[in-house]
Structure 1
């Protein structure tokens, strides 16, 4: 019997003997308990690279809840230690623009400065300190006060931060290292010149730093001696030590120290500079080096030869990365190389349309795993070319359009992706587009709208239509295309018109005026007044609503709508990019303050937050009229 059952059902066969009723009772109890046991679903563990990419996307659009959920997912992979978790916390706060929270956490910075930090974390910490303590002084043009504040607030408390720049080229990091060199007893002319050359020609602080590095301001030395190089190395100033040893004739001692510096700095540029210096030495000198030193030199040299294990180490810039990705080999190593993107130059792309077009062509023609790697790199590419207030131009617009296409091509589009599309669309339209480019953008938007059309994403759809309505249109074909998109949205909305609230209806009416449509075209999307329905409207007469947004057109439309809906209310708009007395006064006197944080400056946010004591700011989910109105009316109705 047991053999027959095993052959029929497989697995283990249990044989029971004894009192039948008692056995049946026990089996019944077991069956009932087993039925109560919750089902356990084994969730597949996603690749860490995919989670990191989603995390960076969430930070780009400042979606804190999504970013925190992704940190939990990363933690659940079991691959993070306490040090990694601290790095993620810094990255989260930096991505959300919480710079003062980072800068004023003294022991966090002190602890991390003693570790061998990734370049991104070094950049985040330095950026936070610079923004918090130096931005205003730089804007004032007072170079002496700037250097003094740097010494007191940054250099003296955290000297270990300036051991090495790890090749990071973001402007505030470069300026911080430049100030650190200026603050030394004998600044090096060569180091100052090398750092100053990394600053973009349109950097707002360029004049201040030219004044700071003038020989009449700091006692610059032009020569390098062995003692100065040794002192820099002993003090743990590896960038400075490497530059000074490199300028001196080679010795057995300097070779050993140059290798140590190169390993700590860890950039391809440093490795190549060291090997070039060693290759210029005589064979007799090389043979006279100790065996362990020669092995280290060969190890550094082999990094450039062994493509199988160090393909990423050879990548020196964005174009190099795109070319290697297009070769479709060693994809894991090449894809991971974007971790070094802070060391890659982007200014040449902004000045060379042919270079940008070549970059776009390479990434736009990828397939399979290489295309997936490119889509995962979207946050890194955006951060490199468009973050930190960098405005697009006709060259980088090509890269913005590529990123737009890469997101649209994703099989699933999340709310985070939609916000990123909106940011890219704003950059592209600001630069200006041709008729062909405009038509392609509208086709992509129609495709996206077909896939995401719902009440959940209605505010995003309305904000995009508004962006198109107020931006220049290159041709009549473009006007027809944007009208089709709006009518498509109207058609989709008919299916959930019963869910619409007043804050959803007003933007439709504004857009009808923009597109020259009769309000009857809205069908079931009608305001209570048009339907002849009386609704109770809160009395806001005598109240003051403040709106902060850098999208002034959206602010004006929101002001008009609110004043129409609530007679007697006063609505003030502010678009100051820095902390001003006017903005602080507005925050103190307003009854309701709505902050369009996706169209704002960090200095303005902290100005409002400090003045808006013990009250919650109303944070608009987007930067268009629909998002602002939805935020205000949701607050009033709650």
Structure 2
């Protein structure tokens, strides 16, 4: 056994370090590389021995002395005290392993500070100083801005565990109000489509009585559709019947009209049921006019059957009635048709309740300020406060991407990320911008990243990623796409969600069939990123990268092979730290790439007990990914013996798709290669909790997700569903 492998065995499984795992991995790899250059030196390493914790290890007393001098300087007695320990060469654990490679001396770092994080920070500083470089790839204490970025990027990648971890750390910072944390709870559950959990939130009714951002309203409308309305509407009940049975007006009145035209299909379904039951024919027509997909339009028309024409509203009393019914859009339209100071208060409240600066907001503000200037209106204290809020709302209104980026680069703008998040869905898409506009947008965002609005750009990073990913194949220039990749790679904290977002964008870019020069440039950037993050904790990312490169269009095979060889070679160097599944995928990907990887014999009894749950089971897969069935079967066949791997690739709801969703013992829904109509059909017959959603890319992402699902659930919960 060589020295590096022995040190890794003495380190043990780093899963035990929880959220500090990646930092300790990076610290260990940095020290292990340095040790090979100065084998008579010293090293700080957490060992699997008693007492548990960090140890200073060395081959001789001089190494102990030099190490102790450095650690005393950086830690001090207020952080840790070094206590010499007696080693046992006969020990079968860490002592015996270290003794076999010549390490004869060690001292235990007994922590005296209350914070393990503080001690690790000081050790990282010591190692980085001795090695002459910064060994930390990210700040020791991520700021609340970093955590908020990670939270939303994790949701973009459907990585629920990373999102929950980031949200929990956000709570601990104490930087966000209880109300904002509740909004993030809604965002978490909604983006992961955990509608039942969202419906069961204890503070949901309290939240419905308060003002909410549009993004929260959009999610709550989807929740309402899937938990209360979908089954009834699909069963053929009319809008009036559903509205009455569910008591929509009484239970969800402030939500139903908060967004005039929702951006999601489920939200529009709720809106058209509401408009039909309330007799708001104008809103019905606006909803139908906003739908471009024939299938959805036909379904909305069926839901709207029997809508009556709403009477013209002009009297103040009628506006009050509309406001009491939470028909905020109707309130503002009626006010603007016949402006009246007596209705100004209701009009301002209606705009604010919608949670966005829509097209009516400037007109309402202008009318009310005009009444005030003419002396026809004397605002009370509450209306003055609401007018100030409406001023800020209107001031933040942007007409599109170029206008937003120009202001972002021009002046400090604390609300820039909020404006983008709440308004970008109403703007013309990136694919409609000209090449000069895209170049201008890219330059302005980069200028903001290097200026006063860096935090605002970081907060909005998930919106930027999602927007370019959706438009990458239709944009007239790659300038803005390149800018977003630069922002991701330039993060001082290359966390898991940041890396996953980068890989998602690279995959979308490669799928478009780039030119040779663009392909080479992208490969070089990705290779540099891998060099920065390479560690056992990043192996799954590396495997996903190889999977993406293998099955994407490739104008330069030699360059691709070089990067794949580099990634697989680095992963193989961590062989002693890889799971059975990772070792298998390393071998399979090497075979598929033509870069054979030797797989060392390992004890897979623990891993095998997890994969054996699939023996004799039907594994269902919904995916539009080419060759998905053959590639998945090839990998699973080396881990277990499923009865059948059944794949469906229908693009719409079909009987065969529903049948697969019902009969499969385990169902993987490949969200990266799926059609919305088909996934809706799956949701109708199988709850989200029984669907396995990959967060990684390619076939590797499917296998990773399946392993996580098997490891996280009890075997008894997966009895055959038949």
Name the TM-score class by shorter chain.
0.7 to 0.9
Say whether the 8 Å CA contact 1:166–1:266 is kept in structure 2.
no
Q: How does 1:16-95 map to 2 (within 5 A)?
A: 38-41=112-115, 47-80=143-176, 82-95=178-191
Q: How does 1:180-219 map to 2 (within 5 A)?
A: 180-185=274-279, 187-189=280-282, 191-197=283-289, 199=290, 201-202=292-293, 204-209=295-300, 217-219=306-308
Query: Measured at CA, do residues 82 and 210 of structure 1 come closer, stay the same or move farther in structure 2, by a change above 3 Å?
Result: same
Say whether the 8 Å CA contact 2:442–2:483 is kept in structure 1.
yes
- State the secondary structure of the residue aligned to 2:278: coil
Mapped partners of 1:232, 1:411: distance in 2: 51
Mapped partners of 2:481, 2:685: distance in 1: 32
Aligned residue number for residue 16 of structure 1: none
Number of residue pairs aligned between Structure 1 and Structure 2: 569
Q: How does 1:125-136 map to 2 (within 5 A)?
A: 125-132=220-227
- State the secondary structure of the residue aligned to 1:486: helix
Correspondent of 1:543 among 616, 628, 646 = 616
Is 1:370 the counterpart of 2:370? The answer is no
Show structure 1 runs of 5+ residues with no match: 1-30, 530-534
Say whether the 8 Å CA contact 1:134–1:146 is kept in structure 2.
no
Aligned residue number for residue 423 of structure 1: 504
Mapped partners of 1:45, 1:450: distance in 2: 23
Aligned residue number for residue 118 of structure 1: 213
Displacement of 1:353 in angstroms is 4.2
Aligned residue number for residue 272 of structure 1: 362
Deviation string 1:491-533 (CA, Å, 9 cap, x unpaired) is 3234223445653355445545554x3xxx43x634769xxxx
- State the secondary structure of the residue aligned to 1:332: coil
Query: Measured at CA, do residues 317 and 48 of structure 1 come closer, stay the same or move farther in structure 2, by a change above 3 Å?
Result: farther
Say whether the 8 Å CA contact 2:341–2:368 is kept in structure 1.
no
Mapped partners of 2:619, 2:174: distance in 1: 46
Is 1:456 the counterpart of 2:537? The answer is yes
Show structure 2 runs of 5+ residues with no match: 1-76, 82-109, 119-139, 716-722
Say whether the 8 Å CA contact 2:155–2:192 is kept in structure 1.
yes
Displacement of 1:585 in angstroms is 5.4
More moved, 84-93 vs 255-264: 255-264
Displacement of 1:420 in angstroms is 1.6
TM-score by length of 1: 0.73
Mapped partners of 2:536, 2:111: distance in 1: 37
Aligned residue number for residue 570 of structure 1: 644
Mapped partners of 1:54, 1:229: distance in 2: 44
Say whether the 8 Å CA contact 1:596–1:622 is kept in structure 2.
no
Aligned residue number for residue 328 of structure 2: 238
Query: Measured at CA, do residues 385 and 346 of structure 1 come closer, stay the same or move farther in structure 2, by a change above 3 Å?
Result: farther
- State the secondary structure of the residue aligned to 1:471: coil
Q: How does 1:250-269 map to 2 (within 5 A)?
A: 250-265=339-354, 267-268=356-357, 269=359
Mapped partners of 1:391, 1:130: distance in 2: 28
Mapped partners of 1:395, 1:146: distance in 2: 40
Aligned residue number for residue 248 of structure 2: 155
Displacement of 1:397 in angstroms is 8.3
Displacement of 1:584 in angstroms is 6.4
Deviation string 1:452-473 (CA, Å, 9 cap, x unpaired) is 2233322322222222222223
Mapped partners of 1:611, 1:336: distance in 2: 29
Query: Measured at CA, do residues 623 and 541 of structure 1 come closer, stay the same or move farther in structure 2, by a change above 3 Å?
Result: closer
Is 1:177 the counterpart of 2:277? The answer is no
Say whether the 8 Å CA contact 1:577–1:603 is kept in structure 2.
no
C-alpha root-mean-square deviation of aligned residues, in Å?
A: 4.6
Is 1:525 the counterpart of 2:598? The answer is yes
Mapped partners of 1:289, 1:116: distance in 2: 28
Mapped partners of 1:448, 1:588: distance in 2: 42
Deviation string 1:168-206 (CA, Å, 9 cap, x unpaired) is 655543553343222214x253x4444445x35347513
- State the secondary structure of the residue aligned to 2:360: helix
Aligned residue number for residue 503 of structure 1: 581
Query: Measured at CA, do residues 428 and 539 of structure 1 come closer, stay the same or move farther in structure 2, by a change above 3 Å?
Result: closer
Aligned residue number for residue 492 of structure 1: 570
Mapped partners of 1:201, 1:454: distance in 2: 47
Is 1:324 the counterpart of 2:407? The answer is yes
Say whether the 8 Å CA contact 1:554–1:623 is kept in structure 2.
no
Say whether the 8 Å CA contact 2:670–2:694 is kept in structure 1.
yes
Deviation string 1:322-374 (CA, Å, 9 cap, x unpaired) is 111111x22434345345346x5244433344454543342244424434532
